[in-house]
Amino acid sequence: MKAFSTRTASLLLALTGGLLAAQPAWALLPIQHWTQPSGAKVWLVDSPGIPMVDVQVAFDAGSRRDPAEQSGLASAVALMASKGVLASGDAPAQDENALGEAWADLGASFGAGADDDGFSYALRSLTEPDLLARATRLAARQIAEPSWPQDIWQRERARWSAAIKEADTRPATIAAKAFSAAVYGGHPYGQQTSEATLARIDVSAMQAFHRKLINACGARVSIVGALNRAQADELVNQLLAPLQAHDAAARPAGAACPQQPALPEVPALASARTIDIPFASAQAHVLIGQPGITRRDPDFLAVMVGNHILGGGGFTSRLMEQVREKRGLSYSVYSTFSPGLHAGAFQIGLQTRSDQAPEATKVSQQVLADFVAKGPTAAELRAAKDNLVGGFALRIDSNRKLLSNVANIAWNDLPLDYLEHWTKRVEALTASEVRAAMARMLQPERMVTLVVGGSKP
């Protein structure tokens, strides 16, 4: 008889999320860090109050590693992680339906995903020993031994291609793709998945990508939950054991962990560029921006605060006040940075009536130029600090949110006490520091300005 029924396990796993929200002090527990003999690096927050654990296993295998002609490859590998596993020892092969039933039976969850920089697997389970052991074994098989069913890939590729074709009829998609191409140029961040690139992705390409880039020695494992260091270390051993065995078989004994080649940085824009794309719609989509900041940049917090004041703070931001409140040119306007291992895009975005697009664009550009030149007022800075520091608890009020923060520390090699000192560092920022950081990051005279719209529907 199982220690927990499926219903009991699922209910307990759901309840733990709410319980954790009532214990924000857990976020202040220290982060432990060590490197396993395999080379895998581990970050752990031991939170013993609730019998659950969240795990993220990340690799340097994001879409920036996709060949340009096969853009979408990393995401395809992530998609196929849930579509079946090979037989292993006494364990039979399982298709996507059997995997779904197995995870439901465990009351646990597992998935894979890819972004610009990284590829990751995420496991959530109760820590009841039998359940966790079974969940870990199943996750380990999905990481190391996907079955790559050809018929399933053909089905998923057809669905994906149809979704791209439909999305390409929308002005927002047209704007986003054209803006990305203009800001990033030939950098991998600017690559676009299309029907053509998907057509070039087959099972052998996914297998080669997985074999080359998903290596146990290169794993960065972040853990938040009711496990001590010894238990967490053993969990990682079990989770990566099949992958490590595959790695050992593929490389000579004693060979170093393969290092991926360095990629070029995103080039700065040399001059301003205006792009007008006609589209039959009542609303024009306006995007203004340039390459921005890396996540590891020491100015990150100052830029985060500056952007909150400029356009990231919703109705309290300068852009919202000038574009919406004072002139009624747009229902919403925002600014955002997308920092990564390379300089992600800075972007101002809004929608407005086509006949108002020139004025809305001009006002947004002027607000940006004024902010970069003069920085925030004392009142704006105080309000931004109050909002960000006051909302800090909401950034870490669940296991998943806390795991996301730990994974951010792991991925970007931030100090282990980064969260502990976050509010103090934000509070210590001065208006001159914020102004200087924004001025270093942004060059209003050298930005892409893109407008999609301008013709009647």
Q: Which domain holds residue 281?
A: 273-452
Rounded CA-CA distance 112/110 in Å is 7
Q: What is the pLDDT along the chain (457 residues), one digit of tens a residue?
A: 333 344 344 444 444 444 343 344 434 689 999 999 999 999 999 999 899 999 999 999 999 999 999 999 999 999 999 999 999 989 999 999 999 999 999 999 999 999 999 999 999 999 999 999 999 999 999 999 999 999 999 999 999 999 999 999 999 999 999 999 999 999 999 999 999 999 999 999 999 999 999 999 999 999 999 999 999 999 999 999 999 998 888 777 678 888 899 999 999 999 999 999 999 988 999 999 999 999 999 999 999 999 999 999 999 999 999 999 999 999 999 999 999 999 999 999 999 999 999 999 999 999 999 999 999 999 999 999 999 999 999 999 888 999 999 999 999 999 999 999 999 999 999 999 999 999 999 999 999 999 999 655 4
SS3 119: strand
Listed residues 183, 217, 250: the one ending a domain = 250
Per the structure, the count of domains in the chain is 2
Q: Is 132 among the domain residues?
A: yes
What are the DSSP calls for 176-195, one per residue? HHHHHHHHHTTSGGG----H
Q: Is 186 among the domain residues?
A: yes
Rounded CA-CA distance 260/66 in Å is 12
Q: Is 126 among the domain residues?
A: yes
Residue 268: other Cβ atoms inside 10 A: 10
In this structure, the answer to whether residues 305 and 419 fall within a common structural domain is yes
In this structure, the answer to whether residues 207 and 337 fall within a common structural domain is no
In this structure, the answer to whether residues 231 and 293 fall within a common structural domain is no
Angle between helices 431-441 and 300-307 (to 10 degrees): 100
In this structure, the answer to whether residues 216 and 281 fall within a common structural domain is no
Q: Is 27 among the domain residues?
A: yes
Q: Is 1 among the domain residues?
A: no
- Per-residue confidence (pLDDT) for residue 28, from 0 to 100: 65
What are the DSSP calls for 361-425, one per residue? HHHHHHHHHHHHHH---HHHHHHHHHHHHHTGGGGSSSHHHHHHHHHHHHHTT--TTTTTTHHHH
Q: State the residue for tokens 């690799």.
A: 59
The gap between the terminal CA atoms of the chain, to the nearest Å, is 64
What does pTM read for this prediction?
0.91
Instruction: Give the C-alpha distances (Å, rounded to integers) separating 3 from 41, 108, 166.
Output: 32, 14, 47
In this structure, the answer to whether residues 149 and 101 fall within a common structural domain is yes
In this structure, the answer to whether residues 220 and 321 fall within a common structural domain is no
- Per-residue confidence (pLDDT) for residue 398, from 0 to 100: 87
Q: Is 257 among the domain residues?
A: no
In this structure, the answer to whether residues 302 and 235 fall within a common structural domain is no
Strands (E), 92-241: 94-95, 109-114, 119-126, 220-225
Q: Is 261 among the domain residues?
A: no
What are the DSSP calls for 359-372, one per residue? HHHHHHHHHHHHHH
Q: Is 106 left (phi over 0), alpha (psi -120 to 50) or beta?
A: alpha
Letter for the amino acid at 228?
Answer: N
Contact (CB, 8 A) for 136 and 242? no
Element (H, E) at 239: helix 229-250
Listed residues 192, 217, 250: the one ending a domain = 250
In this structure, the answer to whether residues 438 and 316 fall within a common structural domain is yes
Paired strand residues for 274: 449
